Chains A and B, each alone.
Chain A
Amino acid sequence: MSPDIKTRPARPNTANNVYTAMLALAFGVVLATAIFVAFKCYSQYGSLFSLK
């Protein structure tokens, strides 16, 4: 016999969204930092990885 699905209530999953948002924030911060560093390198040295 199959369990009765109607007897179990749905569990809230808001905690998972919070940690996902934290991961997204961390990723966004890393990305913004990489973009900022790349911009600085290009503007000051003319290239990203070598000096002209």
Chain B
Amino acid sequence: MSTLTKSFIILLTISTLFLCGYVVQYVSSVSNYKAEFEKNQRELTARQSEIDNLNENLKDERNKRIQLEDSKNNQIAALDKKIKELQTEIDNLKLQNAGLSNTVDSWKITDQQLINLSDNIKDMYKTAFAELNKTKAELASERTKLDETSNTLIDKEALIDMLEKDVKQLTEEKTALENKLNDVLRPYGTKAAAQKSLTPQSTLAELATADTTKIGLKGLVSSVDMKNSMAQISIGSSDGVKKAMRFHVSRGSEYICDIVITDVASEVAVGMLELVQRQPRTGDSVSTNW
């Protein structure tokens, strides 16, 4: 074997060792590109699906945001309307507040007036209280006088009772006298008039003159009985006709006779004919006074 061959073998062996060592080192340290590609592919798919989900979520969020914007716009419109209403109410309340402020001012004035009035009332109360004390003292003295006057009044009342008994007795006697006077005056068509007292009550009684008034009854002759000299007239006790009354019978302005009543019914009366100048007839006028 030649030296050249030996040298070539040695170089070949050495170069083979270095080259193979480098190849082994490179292959050992090189990355697994397929695995990385698959890993990146899976990550890409996952990212793509995430992007799709995010796009869907974005769409949903956009729809929600649009709906939310619509609802918010509606709420804003409602709130604007409410703000306008509240502004109107605020204006009204301001007006009311101004009115109430005026009222409060007037109340303040009234309060001041009431305070002044209260002061005046206090002064008046003090004055009235002093007057009350004074009046109480006067009342005590007046009460003493009243007791004395009461005792005097009791004595006077006893005297008045006695006088009243006398007055009652005199009144009864007066009534009896009036009845007697009426009985006397009745045939003449008159009666006793009511007497006016000429004596003041505080003075002694005085005598009154007797006076008469006309009775003033009028009627017609309803029937005539010349045989018995009797006639019937158209008025009775309901009109005030009493026994012994005298009626004058007339025909126009001519005097006929008198009728003295002897019997009285409620609607008619019957009497005797007296002083007959002419024969009475049915329909002639009768009256108590000529």
Contact = CB atoms under 8 A, between A and B. Distances in A.
A15 interface: yes
A37 to B, nearest CB: 5
Contact of A19 (B9, B20, B32): B9
A32 B12 CA distance: 16
A16 B34 contact: no
A32 B20 contact: yes
A22 B9 contact: yes
Interface residues of A, number: 18
Interface residues of B, number: 17
B179 interface: no
Contact of A26 (B5, B17, B24): B17
Interface string B1-44: 10001100110110011001001100110001011000000000
B241 to A, nearest CB: 167
Contacts of B13: 22-23, 25-26
A33 B12 contact: no
A45 B12 contact: no
A25 B10 CA distance: 11
Contacts of B28: 40
B34 A44 contact: yes
Interface in A4-52: 15-16, 19, 22-23, 25-26, 29-30, 32-33, 36-37, 40, 44-46, 51
A46 B23 CA distance: 20
A30 B20 contact: yes
User: Which of A15, A26, A32 has the most CB atoms of chain B within a 10 A radius of its CB?
Assistant: A26
B34 A45 contact: yes
Nearest to A41: B27
Given A19-B6, A23-B13, A26-B12, 4 more contacts: A19-B10, A23-B9, A25-B13, A32-B20
